Amino acid sequence: MGQCLSTRSTMRRSRPENNLYPIFRFEHLQDPAGEWIPLVVRMKLDLSECRITLDDWQALTDAEKHELCRAPIDNAGQIREFSSLLSAALDRLGRAPTLLPPDKVATIAEWNQSRVTPDSVAAICRHRCLNVDWQNLDRYDRYVLWSLARKNDVDSFCGAIEEIACRAVPARRD
């Protein structure tokens, strides 16, 4: 990536009105069959302090997966509703989600607070000449970048930055 990309924008980033967080292009490229747990669901699992296995996810129906992807999770009530949806879907399979261990729960603050760019994100940005306005990213974009940075998945990280920057630019009206 030869040029510096920036997510700086004068407008505050927010989730689309249809309440769907986007599935990133790199997710489609890495998992064209959609068998892996998408990042949007991983974020919701973290916020609800739950964990499921890949086998659990793959055993869910497409309708259940879609419902979990679409479920809002903006406040404590919605987090409880997401947890209930997840529990009901897994209960049908004779399974149950497990609780995140305390050390994993503590890491949620690294991406869920908007004031400080996590060290792992800042390191990739410095190395790749990327400028991320962490405070103006929405929670999902922060989660995605944090998650990819922790895995040191630089190629997906740069792809995500590109998509975030493109979404932050308002469409021109001619």
CA–CA dist 174, 171 (Å, integer): 10
Q: Write down the pLDDT at residue 173.
A: 58
CA–CA dist 156, 145 (Å, integer): 9
Tell me the pLDDT of the chain averaged across its residues: 86
pLDDT tier for residue 159 given thresholds of 50, 70 and 90: very high
Neighbouring CB atoms inside 10 A of 29's CB total 10
Q: Which of 170, 150, 122, 161 is nearest to 14 (CA)?
A: 170
Query: How far from chain centre, in Å, is Cα 92?
Result: 26
pLDDT tier for residue 11 given thresholds of 50, 70 and 90: very low
pLDDT tens readout for residues 33-60: 989 999 999 999 999 999 999 999 999 9
pLDDT tier for residue 110 given thresholds of 50, 70 and 90: confident
